[in-house]
Structure 1
Amino acid sequence: MTATDRWLIAGLGNPGPWFAGTRHNAGFAVVEHLAHHAGTRFHLTGPRHRTTEIDLAAHPTLLAKPLWTINQSGPPIAALLRTQRIAATHLVVIQDDLDFPFGTIRLKRGGGPGGHNGIRSVTEAIASRDYLRMRIGVGRPPKGQKLGSFVLGRFSEAEQQQLPDLLTRCAASLETLLTSGLDHAQTTLHTPQPVS
């Protein structure tokens, strides 16, 4: 197993306790969920990120939380790709997405930032759109609320009750992605499941 066979899964978010549980930190929530269920914790690896190693679906995987602001996520992620010798094609970036209702999960490769400055920073820093993205829907703010206060606000009480299931589905989708590839993961994730 060479270093290039490893995966890097980076959750986007803002560091610090004040931002914990906010919509903009959905990416952090997913990688924290993965680490918790693998029985490991994040540790500081330099001034730019916290990381931990897990096996995800039998694949050696580095989980990362960049420690710069979410809008400056690119340089820390680029540094990890470089120092850990991981290809951009083996990078998954997890982000919040205003364009999908809460609870929606979408997978794609590349594409434009769609107004997400964290994604713009990653694309510019690694000079590639070959990486994979998991987009977690957080919905749109109610009328009269600004976007900034909405994404930096915490999930509603009803949404918080649904978060455990959402995080479990995110983890399962990532396992499918690493095991069976993007096409199969998209088909599995995006096809409505029958109600039992």
Structure 2
Amino acid sequence: MTVLSPMLMPWTALVDYRLPAIGAVATATALHRRLVSLAAIDRAPGLWSQDGGSSLLRAALFAVRGDHASLPLDRRIVAIGIHVRAHRWLADVHDGAHLVEGGSEMGLFAADEVDLACPECGHLVAMGGEEGASVEEALSVWTEGSEMAPLVCPACGGWTPLPHWRSAGHGFACGELAVTLWGAHLRELIDPAPDTPARLLRTALGDAQGRFAAVFGRG
């Protein structure tokens, strides 16, 4: 079993912000099985070490099988995480892992400091700034289980669900399902004309249409 320490490790997340909660578990389960069949991940959730102890990663942390991986993964990628909001992975003897309700997964993926851009007018709302109270309220509603968590733009008054808000530097997204690639910021995934490996990678991770929101962070 591979023990990883993701402290300050760069990561790239692909967030499906359109998927409703009712379909997230089935979609994540199918993705897990497909990646296992491609020999891209191990069957069971990996463990990571922090402060000398081991614990299940907040979603599922899977070790990539280096030279045996069938996917065009960047050599800097050391693990893949599959996240479903309000669920956690448990190892089992049949499928390797399955999702159960509970856990601390909130479906939020963000860099340390980001400005959110209104989908309607492009106005930037800074987290922690003078207009940040509305962002904090929307985040609170989202973490309580809402699928909408509307955020009102202080500039145009637009009433838009939080999952549709973005940051200019690809520093924020939220959704019911996401895939995290630990080890690097894969900027090629946001290229308007991605090369074949990037396109294949998105497709293998369930994003055949290239619609998932990309987030780059460290943690």
TM-score (norm 1): 0.31
Kindly indicate which of the two structures has a greater share of residues assigned to helix.
Answer: 1
TM-score (norm 2): 0.29
Between structure 1 and structure 2, the one with the greater Rg is 2
Kindly indicate which of the two structures has a greater share of residues assigned to strand.
Answer: 2
